[in-house]
Each structure stands twice: as structure tokens, then as C-alpha cells.
Amino acid sequence: MSNYVEMWKSLGMDLESHDSLCQVLPTAFGDVFLSQDNRPKGMNFWDMVVAEIHGIRPAELIEAQKQGRKVFGTFCVYVPDEIVLAANGIVTGLCGGSQFWVPGGEKVLPKATCPLIKASVGARLDRTCPFFRIADMYVGETTCDGKKKAWEILGQDVPMHIMDLPQMKRPQDLEKWTLEIANFAKVVEETTGNKITVDSLQAAIRTVNEKRKALARVYAARQALNLPISGKDALLVTQIAFFDDPVRCAQMCDKLADELEERIKNGVSVFPKGTKRLLISGTPLAIPNWKLHHLIETSGAAVVCEEMCTGTRYFENLTDESQTTLEGQFRALAERYMKTNCACFTPNTGRIDDIIRLVKEYKADGVIDVNLKFCCLYDIEGYKVEKALKDAGIPVLGLETDYTDADAEQLRTRIGAFVEML
Ligand code: BJ8
């Protein structure tokens, strides 16, 4: 990634510190991904993207900014990309998934904060992530308490817009979210200088729907009994989807899905017959958090689905494309996004229904319900999730972890025992 030094300098990044991150990433990626046998050829694209993760896409974003486009950094799957695209803006995910950034976050946040939040704040304050430097505006949301308060620190020297997400799903909450989306549209129009029209929003809704359909095709291939792709590779596809251009993302996912469907026809599997199939539910796994998938897939099991925001919560449900007024489109977007079941909602029984449905669809032998340390929302909801799964006769293992490797061996033992029991 050394070709990008001048670009990083111009972004005001801390090059020395950033260098140490660049040094560890290729080894980690090699150990986790390139060590796998018989990977789909289509994964070459994602390997290339990761090899240049702080280079290729940031360079594209800077180029787009030179053409007058604005970049919006987001942290949650409830923020509607469609609104930004409709004003010719660009969306990039900003959630931090590396322990490398956590100490930087701990300088200003309590240690007892979820690692995703600490890493995101650390990446910004330590100036070691180009995406944080490039974004013209951050878009936060009122999901968990940790994020809400972190926005006040993150927004100190960058324009920050916060979407007030309802925490219940009553009719008045849908009304409120529709208004919140309409208000976001105004903010995006002001920031980009572009008007959102029925046509531009229609095109954006279609673009994002196509991306969701393509991701769904990749996931559908994981429902086959012979698994054409590992859980690690599928997770990587989803993680990169938060950063990539949505049209290219859909094209690459469709190409990969073609190959996976062909593999299924030809009986090609990346795991031996009889490998136990696990569904993972819980808090998101932001890039480069590959820890759990790697532990599972080197412990004799395969991950067949993620009921996570870096998984099905990202692409399930499409937005209605038939609306002909902006009001109707805002409402359609609100309806689509309110179908997502995050633990920040109460009650959130829809998530339990989702998990049980996904277990059947992906023919999972068991579920690992994972929680990022200090995420109370998913931790508390874990009680009901695990009870419902047990009641349905589905084996479940609850795990809590963070971004460090300190608990890796302990987790491996627990995962191994769970797989053995299945
Ligand atoms: S829709 S899961 S992306 S809020 S940051 S809640 S892990 S303590 S990320 Fe999320 Fe949107 Fe919900 Fe998905 Fe817990 Fe950490 Fe909070 Fe987190």
C-alpha cells in the first residue's frame, strides 16, 4: 500500500502509527483467508480490495470529491444510503473492527465501552484511518447509549448529523422515522448542493435494492448442503460492501454468486461432508474482525449464516420501488428500514423469529449467539434469544468477546466442545 503515502500525508494521517497497522494486516489476512483451500476464484476481487484497503477506495473517494461529490460516513444499517445516493453523494461505512484502534478510543471513553465504539473513536482521533479523514460528514444515530455519547466526541471537528431512531415499532414510530428520513434528505441536499427528486431517489432505491439482491444471492448459496464458500469469505464480502461503490458491489456479488451456483451444481464444497453448520447471531463484526469465524472454521465447523448487521440484517427486505412522490418514497424507505430487528428496539421479538427462520433456511445444526463485551443491548437480549432457541430444540452457545486475542484459546475450547456436542 506504499504507493499511497502522499495521499495519506495530504489527509493529515499519522503515518508512523498507520505504518504499524499496514504491517500487521497482510499477515493476519494471509493467516485467516489465504490459508483456506479451494476458495472461489471470485474472491480474488475481495483479496485485492483488502490488500489495498486504505488505498484504492480512499483514492476513488478523493477523486470523486474533486469532481464535487460529498462523502458521508455512517455507522449503522438504519441510515438510508438511498438518500445520499439520490443527491449524488457517496456513503462509506466507518465502524472500527480492529484492536489496533481501541487504545486510542480508551483515551477519551470509559474502558467499559464496546470495542466497536472505542475502535471507531480511536481510528478518528489517532488519525490512522483514511475513511474517517475523507468523510465530509458523519451520520450517527440514536441506537445504543455508547454510540449516542460517542457522537458528541466524534462530532467535535467534523460536521455530524444524528438520526433519531425510534426504539419501538408502533404506528407513530413509523411516522416519526419517515419524518426523520425526510429531514435527513434536507441535510444531505444542503451538504451536497443537489436536489433530491422523485427520479433520483427512485434510481437510488433501485441501486441499493440490486445490491441487496446480489448479496442475498451469495448468502442463498450458503443454504446448499455442500458449501461452495466459507463463512470467512462470505463475511468479508459483506464487510467490504459497506465501503464499496454499490453498483460495483452488486456486479461483483452477482459474479461470485454465478460461480457459487455452478459449484453447487458440480458438488464442490470447501468443507468435508458432515461438517457441522453454525449460524452466528448478535453484534456486528466490523472489518477486520474475523476472529470468531476463524476460530469456528478451524475448529471443525462451518459458519453458514450471520444474523448480524454484517450479515442478513444488512440486505434482507427490499424497498418498495413503486412510489411516485417523495413523501411516498420516504415512507417506503421508513417501512423497509423499520423491518430490521436490532436489539436497540423493545420489544424485539422479530429478531428471535428471524433467527429461528434462518436456522431452518440455512440448515444450521446450532447457533452461536455472540456479544461484543459491554454491549448491554445484545447481552441482555441474549437471555431471550437463547431461551427461545432452546425451547425450539436448537442447540445454542452464548459467547462474549472483544477485539483482543487474549481469550482466543478459551473460546476455541468452548467452540470445540459445542461442535463436539452437536
Ligand atoms: S442496527 S447492531 S449497526 S446499532 S455499538 S449496539 S455492538 S454497544 S453496532 Fe449496531 Fe445499528 Fe444495531 Fe446494527 Fe452494541 Fe456496540 Fe452499540 Fe453496536
* pLDDT per residue rounded down to tens, the chain (422 residues): 658 999 999 999 999 999 999 988 989 999 999 999 999 999 999 999 999 999 999 999 999 999 999 999 999 999 999 999 999 999 999 999 999 999 999 999 999 999 999 999 999 999 999 999 999 999 999 999 999 999 999 999 899 999 999 999 999 999 999 999 999 999 999 999 999 999 999 999 999 999 999 999 999 999 999 999 999 999 999 999 999 999 999 999 999 999 999 999 999 999 999 999 999 999 999 999 999 999 999 999 999 999 999 999 999 999 999 999 999 999 999 999 999 999 999 999 999 999 999 999 999 999 999 999 999 999 999 999 999 999 999 999 999 999 999 999 999 999 999 999 99
Ligand 1 centroid – CA 372 distance (Å):
9
* pTM, 2 dp: 0.97
101 Cβ inside 6 Å of ligand 1? no
Q: Own/partner pairs for 12-17, CB < 8 Å, 24+ apart?
A: 12/127, 12/133, 13/127, 13/128, 13/130, 13/133, 14/126, 14/127, 14/128, 17/126, 17/127, 17/128
309 Cβ inside 6 Å of ligand 1? yes
Alpha-carbon span 405 to 415, nearest angstrom: 15
* Dihedrals phi, psi of 181, to nearest 5 degrees: -70, -40
284 Cβ inside 6 Å of ligand 1? yes
Atom of ligand 1 at shortest range from CA of 371: 7
13 Cβ inside 6 Å of ligand 1? no
150 Cβ inside 6 Å of ligand 1? no
Atom of ligand 1 at shortest range from CA of 344: 12
Alpha-carbon span 399 to 281, nearest angstrom: 10
pLDDT at 3: 85
Ligand 1 centroid – CA 283 distance (Å):
6
Ligand 1 centroid – CA 284 distance (Å):
7
3-state secondary structure the chain: CHHHHHHHHHCCCCHHHHHHHHHHHHHHHHHHHHCCCCCCCCHHHHHHHHHCCCCHHHHHHHHHHHCCCCEEEECCCCCCHHHHHHCCCEEEECCCCCHHHHHHHHCCCCCCCCHHHHHHHHHHHCCCCHHHHHCCEEEEECCCHHHHHHHHHHCCCCCEEEECCCCCCCHHHHHHHHHHHHHHHHHHHHHHCCCCCHHHHHHHHHHHHHHHHHHHHHHHHCCCCCCCCCHHHHHHHHHHHCCCCHHHHHHHHHHHHHHHHHHHHCCCCCCCCCCEEEEEEECCCCCCCCHHHHHHHCCCEEEEEEECCCCHHHHCCCCCCCCCCHHHHHHHHHHHHCCCCCCCCCCCHHHHHHHHHHHHHCCCCEEEEEEECCCHHHHHHHHHHHHHHHHCCCCEEEEEECCCCCCHHHHHHHHHHHHHHC
Dihedral sign for Cα atoms in the order 281, 282, 285, 290: negative
Contact, 73 vs 138, CB < 8 A? Answer: yes
Contact, 390 vs 278, CB < 8 A? Answer: no
Gyration radius of the chain's alpha carbons: 21
- Closest C-alpha residue for ligand 1 atom 17: 283
Contact, 372 vs 404, CB < 8 A? Answer: no
- Closest C-alpha residue for ligand 1 atom 14: 375
Atom of ligand 1 at shortest range from CA of 378: 14
- Closest C-alpha residue for ligand 1 atom 3: 76
344 Cβ inside 6 Å of ligand 1? yes
Contact, 92 vs 72, CB < 8 A? Answer: yes
Atom of ligand 1 at shortest range from CA of 374: 8
Ligand 1 centroid – CA 293 distance (Å):
19
- Closest C-alpha residue for ligand 1 atom 16: 144
342 Cβ inside 6 Å of ligand 1? yes
Q: Give the mutation target among 75, 164, 239, 309 for probing the ligand 1 site: most ligand atoms within 8 A of CB.
A: 309
Q: Give the mutation target among 116, 139, 289, 338 for probing the ligand 1 site: most ligand atoms within 8 A of CB.
A: 116
Question: What residues contact 162, with CB distance under 8 A and at least 6 apart?
Answer: 139, 140, 141, 142, 148, 151, 155
Ligand 1 centroid – CA 143 distance (Å):
7
Task: Using CB atoms within 10 Å of the CB of residue 110, give its burial: 0 to 12 exposed, 13 to 18 middle, 19+ buried.
Answer: exposed
114 Cβ inside 6 Å of ligand 1? yes
146 Cβ inside 6 Å of ligand 1? yes
Alpha-carbon span 254 to 42, nearest angstrom: 10
308 Cβ inside 6 Å of ligand 1? no
Ligand 1 centroid – CA 349 distance (Å):
17
